[in-house]
Amino acid sequence: MNEELRVDVVRILRNLNKLGKIGRREGFNGVTRLALSEEDREARDLLVSWMEEGGLNVRVDPIGNIFGVRRGSNPNFKPVIMGSHIDTVIDAGIYDGAYGVLSALEILRRIDEEGIETQHPVGVAAFTNEEGVRFQPDMMGSLVKSGGYPLEKAYARKDDDGVTVKEALKGIGYLGRDDVKPEAYFELHVEQGPVLHKRGFEIGVVEGVQGIAWWRMAFRGEANHAGTTPLDMRKDAMAGAAELYTGLLEYVAKKGNALCTVGKLRLEPGAINVVPSLADFTIDYRSYDDAIFKEGKAEVERRAEEVAKRRGLTLDKEMTADAQPVHFRPEMVGLVEASARKRTYSTFRLPSGAGHDAQFMHVICPTAMIFVPSINGVSHSPGERSDAADLERGANVLFDCTLAKAGFKKEP
Ligand SMILES: [Zn+2]
């Protein structure tokens, strides 16, 4: 629709590299900006300085989400928001999250440069704790904003050192009081999977997001001598965890359209010659299918209880995330697809395998996501890369979708 309007991808890359310098650690190749850490504060401060340079109205809400809003011609209209996150996992790449936020910033700059007047205000958002490494649940900022999790409960969540979210927010100076109610939300993101790159498509039209359920579980048994305790007299916590995991892997393989991962495991006492008395572990379960998601969650809990019972273990379990599969509104998905095709970019429809803030924003406003290819599908790793040409295409699509939703006129 705006064939002549393009982002300047060099500026996006320059900012990505600047932001990507924050959170470098000795001995790591990537960046580590865990939510609400000192590194996160530094990144937030830089982002806010860029927003202020761009003349945006900066607002921070009670869970620390940052918004930078450019005014529209109708003061009563709600803003069209483009966003993502700038926190990272441990030893991450520089594109995940930051690409969406910094492309939004570039688009706002281009709107100024082109003398475009939008009816709705247009803004950029950076959501708090998308990754969920330090505090759970993940996607905390958008989850709380959308009303899916009580603010006070989020404030009380603790990291491994006992620091609460509220203390951490206060500590870095991002405990705000503002509220921004969006008209629509667009999230541009690297795919983080291999589909677009392997199949040679330029733009991923995201239809929705897989449901994600997380648990923290612990089997407790009895520590005992590895050489003298017969198998049938053991209460082996690790054996329980192993049996549960392999059983769940078989279950999801049989179902198809579902995934299960035990990504973290700690044993006590942790000695080569002692039967483990404790297995403390996490479970990540995902499906895009509503029925399989629901059934699988019940299956995880049922199997955990059954294994514990049979092996004489006790089970502690806490569900730390439970995000239903999301299916974006067809007209929003269609807008992304039409915008990309108008620019003659090749498109492919797919659901997102990773969780994103968009899945919660979808609850409170019309929402869509745009993916660009990740080279070899690598993400959550310093090896995460995307081609500059793909980054430019994605941001151009975001530009068009945002203007279409905001309504605009361009001075001659
Ligand atoms: Zn992300």
Q: Please give the single-letter amino acid code of residue 168.
A: A
Residue 97 pLDDT > 60, yes or no?
A: yes
Q: Which residue has the higher pLDDT, 27 or 295?
A: 295
Q: Is residue 235 part of a domain?
A: yes
Q: How far is the CA of 62 from the centre of ligand 1 (A)?
A: 21
The torsion angles phi and psi of 287, rounded to 5 degrees, stand at -160, 145
Residues 55 and 185 in one domain: yes
Q: State how beta strands 224-225 and 274-275 pair.
A: antiparallel
pLDDT by residue (tens digit) across 370-402?
A: 999 999 999 999 999 999 999 999 999 999 999
Residues 400 and 362 in one domain: yes
**Which of 323, 354, 382 marks a domain boundary?**
323
Residue 1 pLDDT > 50, yes or no?
A: no
Residues 194 and 230 in one domain: no
Q: How far is the CA of 139 from the centre of ligand 1 (A)?
A: 9
pLDDT by residue (tens digit) across 143-184?
A: 999 999 999 999 999 999 999 999 999 999 999 999 999 999
- Rounded to 10°, the helix 98-113/9-19 angle is 140
Q: Is residue 202 part of a domain?
A: yes
Q: How far is the CA of 196 from the centre of ligand 1 (A)?
A: 17
Q: Could you tell me which residues are beta bridge partners of residue 370?
A: 188, 205
Residues 216 and 156 in one domain: no
What band does 3 get if pLDDT is binned at 50, 70 and 90? Answer: low
Q: Which residues have a beta carbon within 5 Å of ligand 1, which is an ion? A: 96-97
pLDDT by residue (tens digit) across 242-298?
A: 999 999 999 999 999 999 999 999 999 999 999 999 999 999 999 999 999 999 999
Task: Quote the domain boundaries for residue 228.
Answer: 211-323
Share of the chain above pLDDT 90, in %: 96
The pTM for the full model equals 0.86
Residue 75 pLDDT > 90, yes or no?
A: no
**Which of 270, 288, 323 marks a domain boundary?**
323
Residues 141 and 22 in one domain: yes
Residues 86 and 188 in one domain: yes
Q: State how beta strands 408-410 and 224-225 pair.
A: unpaired
Residues 334 and 316 in one domain: no
pLDDT by residue (tens digit) across 29-43?
A: 999 999 999 999 999
Residue 51 pLDDT > 90, yes or no?
A: yes
Residues 302 and 201 in one domain: no
Q: What is the mean pLDDT of the chain?
A: 96
Residues 105 and 186 in one domain: yes
**Which of 323, 356, 388 marks a domain boundary?**
323
- Segment 229-243 shows an average pLDDT of 97
Domain CATH code at residue 346: 3.40.630.10
Residues 53 and 112 in one domain: yes
What band does 410 get if pLDDT is binned at 50, 70 and 90? Answer: confident
Q: Is residue 398 part of a domain?
A: yes
Determine the Cα–Cα distance for residues 351 and 349; give it in Å rounded to an integer.
7
pLDDT by residue (tens digit) across 307-353?
A: 999 999 999 999 998 988 999 999 999 999 999 999 999 999 999 99
Determine the Cα–Cα distance for residues 89 and 379; give it in Å rounded to an integer.
10
* Angle value at C-alpha 96, between 297 and 263, nearest 5 degrees: 40
Q: How far is the CA of 400 from the centre of ligand 1 (A)?
A: 22
The torsion angles phi and psi of 309, rounded to 5 degrees, stand at -65, -50
Q: How far is the CA of 365 from the centre of ligand 1 (A)?
A: 20
Q: How far is the CA of 128 from the centre of ligand 1 (A)?
A: 11
Residues 93 and 65 in one domain: yes
Q: Is residue 4 part of a domain?
A: no
Residues 381 and 261 in one domain: no
- Segment 129-146 shows an average pLDDT of 96
Tokens of 223: 């520590």
What is the total count of domains within the chain? Answer: 2
